[in-house]
Amino acid sequence: MQAAAQAYFGKNVQQLDVSEAALLAGVIQRPTYWDPDVDRENAERRWNFVLDQMTKNGWLTNRASLKFPTTLPRNAAQSSARLQIENQVLAELEDLADLPRDALQQRGYRVITTIDQAAQTSLEQSVSSVMAGQPDYLRAAAVSLDPKSGGVLAYHGGGNGVGLDYAQSPQDAGTTFGTFVAVAALRQGFRPDHPLDGTSPRMIDGIPFQNPAGVRCSPCSLRASLGIQANTASAELASQVGVGAVAEAAHQLGIARELRGKPAFGADPDTRIAVGGGSTSVRTIDMAHAYATLAANGMRTTPHFVSRVEDIDGNTRYNATLPTLQAIPSRIAQTVIFGLERDQGAFVRPGVRAFGDGGANAKAWMVGYNFDIVTAVWMGADRIIAIKNKEGRDITPAGEPTTIWRAVMDGYRAAHAPKKPTLEPVPKELEYNDPKKPSPNPAARPTPRTTR
């Protein structure tokens, strides 16, 4: 407790006030979850719970006057991404392997993660380069998964100076959700060539929709709406299949049903779910999870950071064997795959949460995959504003998010490309392909001379 008091407030435990003590009382049991540097909203909820219990038991009378305390920022020199990965690893070990932090330290366990060094290094370097000099309000997060196993290959939750992990933070889903509308329709038996009206703007279910600038899709189809992101066509399709069917398709692919105890898509979602609008919220890690299910031909895995844990003698203490599920038929996943855009051999779905009608964006996504790795990149701010880059230009999926996405995909591909075989020199007697020399004829043999 003394060490925690120093780390969080820079004072001895005897000098803590009630508000500070309540924070530590809540955090100390599970710092991975309730540390305000990791998740302030969750920490405040835990702090309020502690104070409520104190009031209920008659130990506190001035509850209303207390304010959430300010903690000291911890130095993230190790790199915010590595610290965020460490937090996720510790939480996973506690939940799945029954290995709390103190047991790991006391018994000298060795933890082998799923992180791919090449992908992680490429991600960190790219985020550092892209975010340098950007406006202070700009945030970024990215997650890469192995679609076959669910292992996290690369992870970066961004950072705002106090360690908030934006890869775990709910964000407006944006038009990346159009893919899930198509999945919902295909599950109901709609054909890829199902006709849709992609003219823009349109009123659908009493809600105005419009396509991004330059996007025209009339006549349009289910397949075409995937490739060119025709928002009006996706909204019409969502109206036809039903908002509930779209939500269920997203959940089946891997989008969480609840975030922080609340429905991920709000209590009463409407047709705006087709473009990830309204109350539609997702985390970056969930977006990667959903597209990983498509990459795995409809097989949904469980995202995880830990591969296995060994004790000091090399014996396996924990081995990640997590559930998988055929969430959607493989033919549906393959139909979607070949309807998406292509980028350097990968299938991609850029997306935005628009800001106003002038072409600006409040959130920008780039999600794409091949059959070995899927990467989701998000950019936005803590509030709904038009996000600009350091040159003052609108941030779009094709800009900074794609730069980060390509860096990770290229870094992984370069590290895992099959090596070309090294050929030994061909012996002289086997060099048959010189066009100036006739090929030897094994059937031609000297005729023995005979004498009589």
Rounded to the nearest 10 degrees, what angle do helices 2-9 and 18-27 cross at?
A: 110
Q: Tell me which residue of 140, 91, 141 sits closest to 113, measured CA to CA.
A: 91
The structure's pTM equals 0.79
- Where do the CATH 1.10.3810.10 domains begin and end in the chain? 2-74
Residue 96 to residue 89: CA distance in whole angstroms: 10
pLDDT tens-digit map of 47-88: 888 888 888 888 888 888 888 888 875 543 345 788 889 889
**Which H helix or E strand runs over 14?**
none
pLDDT tens-digit map of 296-352: 999 999 999 999 999 888 899 999 989 999 999 999 999 998 889 888 789 999 999
Tokens 């219990």, located at residue: 53
Residue 140 to residue 377: CA distance in whole angstroms: 7
Question: Would you state the CATH architecture of domain 117-415?
Answer: 3-Layer(aba) Sandwich (3.40)
What integer pLDDT is reported at residue 6 of this predicted model? 67
- Where do the CATH 3.40.710.10 domains begin and end in the chain? 117-415
Whether the upstream peptide bond of residue 219 has omega within 30° of 0, thus cis, is yes
CATH homologous superfamily, domain 2-74: Biosynthetic peptidoglycan transglycosylase-like (1.10.3810.10)
**Which H helix or E strand runs over 98?**
none
pLDDT tens-digit map of 182-219: 999 999 999 999 999 999 999 999 999 998 888 888 88
